[in-house]
A and B are shown apart, each in its own frame.
Chain A
Amino acid sequence: MRIALPVNDKDIKSEICPSFGRTPYFLIYDTAEKSSVFLDNLAAQSAGGAGIKAAQMLVDQSVKVIIAPRYGENAAKVLIDGDIKVYKNIVGTAEENIKAYEKNQLDILADIHPGFHNHGNK
């Protein structure tokens, strides 16, 4: 199964990026093969709808689990339709988060923020 994490650097020991849609990279970890690849987040350059595009990219990558600090309501619609579960990260590196996930220590991220689109007025 493939897990995605928004990360600041192309390094398994990278910190988790606080932004989902505009993270510079996604770390994709394959639990079966125990391998990881880094994807440039092309959505980060979007004028708008970055969360949607980032979510689409992860759907297309056949990701089934995301570990992130938060995500917006537009991204949520795409992730739900793509049957992807989102878990809340813990303090620490991407590697530590993957280990925590594999030990069932992470909680489902249920609170979806309304997004910073429309300047937070929505």
Chain B
Amino acid sequence: MGTNKKIAVLSGKGGTGKTLVSVNLATAEANSYYVDCDVEEPNGHLYFNPQICEEKAVSVLIPKVNHELCTGCKECVNFCKFNALAFGEKVILFKEICHSCGGCALVCSVKAITETEKMVGIVNIGVSDQVKTVGGMMNTGEASGIPIIKNILEYIKDKSGYVFIDCPPGSACIVMESIKDADYCILVAEPTIFGAHNLAMVYELVRLFDKPCGVVLNKCTDGHNPSEEFCKEKSIEILVKIPFDMELGELNSNGKIAVRENYKNKELFYSLLTKVKEAVE
């Protein structure tokens, strides 16, 4: 581990405000990295418009079959749990289904399968004012964004300062990969029953990973907030309540970062930053 502190921002569903929280925290902090791990649909760059300094390709290994050597034993087909291989008259590979486990090459007794590189996406490194940005973009149709996320997190490992990881939505493998090395997790939740249900799912995930966490209640109104009730029931710290606010919504939909603008409630993000820094120091 480097000398940095990694703060992952996640939520059980899309559109709760992960990017809103991450870009504002990264901007409020003087020495920060904004890391967009939502490699399937990255949108942090829309706020930062970073100047890209470096772009690199990310590749994975996929099988390559030598049909001359193949005896048609189907060991590889039977081994593949993702059903990426089939055999009619010869071995058929479904590249977009392959998860690059390498198992088929291992089980082939006649060494008819070797591995070859396939590009699955890119990682880009950039800068926007004082914020250093790292993001990735998966090629359309690929099975998994995990190789790209691994590449991003490998890059960030030895960097110093605060790293804000904008996670993909949900609680599946790509989210686990994104929060694996995090020092703290911020769970963003909406004030609806659906929001509370999705909060419960990510809460279960961060508990499983034994990560300290707190909740940001976004889009709060005067009405009943099922996500807040969930936090109280489970004694989870509520870090900040962001009001349902047309002004913030408008800034956000225009790709503006609230703490860089003259937004009336921008103190909310600074107080959130202070609380999170206290939690990880």
Contact = CB atoms under 8 A, between A and B. Distances in A.
Interface of A: 43, 46-50, 52-53, 55-56, 59, 74, 77-83, 117-118, 121-122
A47 B99 CA distance: 13
Contacts of B90: 81
23 contacts: A46-B83, A47-B82, A48-B83, A48-B97, A49-B94, A49-B97, A52-B83, A52-B86, A52-B94, A53-B83, A56-B86, A56-B87, A59-B86, A59-B87, A59-B88, A77-B94, A78-B86, A81-B88, A81-B90, A82-B89, A83-B88, A117-B97, A118-B141
B174 interface: no
A43 B80 CA distance: 13
A59 to B, nearest CB: 5
A90 B87 CA distance: 30
A4 B123 CA distance: 47
Nearest to A79: B88
Decide if the interface of chain B is mainly helix, strand, loop or mixed: loop
Contacts, number: 52
A50 B82 CA distance: 9
A71 to B, nearest CB: 14
A83 B87 contact: no
Q: Which interface residue of A49, A55, A121 has the most chain B CB atoms within 10 A?
A: A49
Q: Is the interface of A mostly helix, strand, loop or mixed?
A: helix
B92 A77 contact: yes
Contacts of A82: 88-89
Interface of B: 77, 82-84, 86-90, 92, 94, 96-97, 140-141
Contacts of A74: 94, 97
Nearest to A52: B83
Nearest to B78: A56
A49 B84 contact: yes
B97 A52 contact: yes
B89 A81 contact: yes
Given A56-B77, A118-B141, A122-B141, A50 B92 contact: no
A38 to B, nearest CB: 22
A49 B92 contact: no
Q: Which of B88, B89, B90, B96 has the most CB of A within 10 A?
A: B88
B83 A83 contact: no
A77 B89 CA distance: 11
A115 B82 CA distance: 16
B146 to A, nearest CB: 15
Nearest to A54: B83
Contact of A80 (B77, B82, B83, B88): B88
Contacts of B97: 48-49, 52, 74, 117
